[in-house]
A = this chain, B = another copy of it.
Amino acid sequence: MSTPTPPIATIASLSHHEGRTVTLRGWLYNLRASGKLLFPIFRDGTGTIQGIVPKAAVPEEVFETLKNLTLESSVIVTGKVRADSRAPSGYELDVEGVEVIQRVPDETPFPISLKEHGVDFLMEHRHLWLRTPRQSAILRVRATIMRAAAEYFDTNGFIRTDPPILTPNACEGTSELFEMDYFDDDKAYLTQSGQLYIEATALALGKVYSFGPTFRAEKSKTRRHLTEFWMIEPEVAYAGLDDIMDLAEAFITHIVTRVLEHHRADLKVIGRDITKLEAIIAPPSSLPATPIVAPLSSFTTILPSALSSFAESGAPAGDLDSPGAPRPASGTWERSATESDGGTTEPGAPSSPAHLRAKVGGTTTKSRFPRLSYDEAHAMLEKAYAEGKIENPHKYGDDFGSPDETYISSQFDLPVMVHRYPAAIKAFYMQPDPTDPSKALCVDVLAPEGYGEIIGGSQRVDSYDLLKSRIEEHNLPLAAFQWYLDLRKYGSVPHAGFGMGIERVVAWLCGLDHVRETIPFARTLNRIYP
């Protein structure tokens, strides 16, 4: 501390320091020795970099300190940044000095070595496993998925409203809930979805979303299930099924775009084939030369007049649709003039008159994701069974099983929207299709490559009498749902929304076999530690 230390840098920012000596603060990730040369690899949370330590070029104590250093010891390293085209990051560090902050004792080495470990061992050491490059990369991608998801709604006129986690009743029946005592008299249950509550805030604020943890006490042990997982749920007043299908498409496209913008290196570490993701953001034939996410404006200098072509047309808003890429979230805090403006939607949508419904996102997309009715999807499965392409027949009226979903999604490069399932297998709050009341105005979005359902949504019942009878049919306690019924008594409007499970999307975009790697500390049937 007697001599001034070189400026502190992060590994991710080393390109700004080429040719200069910097201080890095991090950990020893790996160490290779080759005679009088050491190749320590350092990590600092932003990335990894290889150091070069020739015995002849550094003080004896630096060489000896590093030569014997244990993995994951914390170190502050000084060295000169040198471009090297062979290095994965493009840079190497000519080490000049090292200070060990805490040396991992030789007798208790870092438990996760570079060899294979069993899953139980890794999960038991999850707090340390997180430090390995693949797990860190997954967490960085997860953070971007969460940020992009919130950004999409924030920049398209949605207000975030947080529903309660502790609820007095279940969203979809009392099947599999975590229950606890709530002070003296009451029971409380952990929420399965914020939907019912944000229906109330949507009728107050127009377009809203929630973003928080949800819980299912299911005793299922599959690679797709966690007992605690994160959901983001938009809900829109004056909107119908088609609106939220448009919204879901633009929303997913935005998230994939952001992940590809920021995480190509991370996805490479994870081993993800990104060509399948590139297909999501634009058809290969029409990939634009410039990034698909172009700024609408700079951060604070947006002028309403710059958007006049969107906003001030006297023509019906439906004319604002332009072919091509969806309009992404703009990344600006300014509301765009059109963000909350609606428009007429596709002709023929039977769910409600077009002028009742919103253009809910900032999207001006033409639909690109395939949309199949339940009946069409069933017919596809019947044909596949007849041709021996799936093992078991799909029974009309049943939900799709995992192999069914995998087959359907494998027929397309893009996420598939399956809509209008039989009402009998769907939740009580779903609006019946007026053209066939045995069907619900609902949609499931299936991710490609067999990753299954990532979004489930619906238009909600807006009739007081119908909702009341549905609650009674499902044997739900009417008193607990009185407030929910009130929403149909005082200014009911058509409204719709969906929920997207974050962990399923992380699994899909990272190409993971199991959701346990998608969240820092997974909670499953058999695990609540660490």
CA distance A200 to B135 in the complex (A): 13
CA distance A59 to B139 in the complex (A): 61
CA distance A46 to B342 in the complex (A): 13
Q: Are B139 and A201 in contact, with the CB atoms below 8 A?
A: yes
A8 touching B331 in the complex, CB below 8 Å, given contacts A45-B206, A298-B297: no
Q: Are A128 and B331 in contact, with the CB atoms below 8 A?
A: no
Q: Are B205 and A45 in contact, with the CB atoms below 8 A?
A: yes
CB-CB contacts below 8 Å: A108-134 with B: 108, 110, 125-128, 130-131
Q: Are A341 and B520 in contact, with the CB atoms below 8 A?
A: no
Q: 0/1 per residue, A1-22, Cβ < 8 Å to B?
A: 1001111111011011100100
Q: Name the residue of chain B whose CB is nearest to the CB of A148.
A: B333
Q: How far is the CB of A330 from chain B (nearest CB, A)?
A: 7
Q: Secondary structure at chain A's binding surface: helix, strand, loop or mixed?
A: loop
Q: Which of A33-41, A352-360, A417-425 touches B? A: A352-360
Is the CB of A23 closer than 8 A to any CB of chain B? yes
Chain B residues with Cβ below 8 Å from A484 are: 127, 530
A7 touching B299 in the complex, CB below 8 Å, given contacts A166-B523, A212-B213: no
A164 touching B228 in the complex, CB below 8 Å, given contacts A183-B525, A299-B298, A300-B295: yes
Chain B residues with Cβ below 8 Å from A7 are: 313-317, 341, 343
Q: Are A206 and B44 in contact, with the CB atoms below 8 A?
A: yes
Q: Are B356 and A76 in contact, with the CB atoms below 8 A?
A: yes
CB-CB contacts below 8 Å: A46-68 with B: 46
Is the CB of A262 closer than 8 A to any CB of chain B? yes
Is the CB of A472 closer than 8 A to any CB of chain B? no
Q: Are B521 and A16 in contact, with the CB atoms below 8 A?
A: no
Listed residue (A9, A16, A317) with the most chain B CB atoms within 10 angstroms of its CB: A16
Q: 0/1 per residue, A266-303, Cβ < 8 Å to B?
A: 00000000000000000000000001011111111100
Chain B residues with Cβ below 8 Å from A298 are: 295, 297-299
Q: Name the residue of chain B whose CB is nearest to the CB of A304.
A: B16
CA distance A5 to B293 in the complex (A): 32
Chain B residues with Cβ below 8 Å from A154 are: 147
Name A159's contact: one of B140, B308, B355, B494 (CB within 8 Å). B140
CA distance A493 to B101 in the complex (A): 7
Q: How far is the CB of A78 from chain B (nearest CB, A)?
A: 10
Chain B residues with Cβ below 8 Å from A373 are: none
Q: How far is the CB of A49 from chain B (nearest CB, A)?
A: 14
Q: Are A45 and B204 in contact, with the CB atoms below 8 A?
A: yes
CA distance A319 to B413 in the complex (A): 52
Name A340's contact: one of B13, B316, B343 (CB within 8 Å). B13
Is the CB of A500 closer than 8 A to any CB of chain B? no
Is the CB of A98 closer than 8 A to any CB of chain B? no
CA distance A207 to B46 in the complex (A): 9
Q: Name the residue of chain B whose CB is nearest to the CB of A26.
A: B206
Q: Are A528 and B104 in contact, with the CB atoms below 8 A?
A: no
CA distance A38 to B12 in the complex (A): 63
CA distance A311 to B519 in the complex (A): 33
Q: How far is the CB of A196 from chain B (nearest CB, A)?
A: 9
Chain B residues with Cβ below 8 Å from A159 are: 45, 139-140, 143
17 more A-B contacts (CB under 8 A) besides A104-B489, A126-B483?
A8-B343, A17-B311, A20-B314, A45-B159, A45-B207, A102-B491, A128-B490, A136-B204, A139-B205, A168-B530, A178-B182, A197-B520, A197-B530, A295-B298, A295-B300, A483-B529, A483-B530
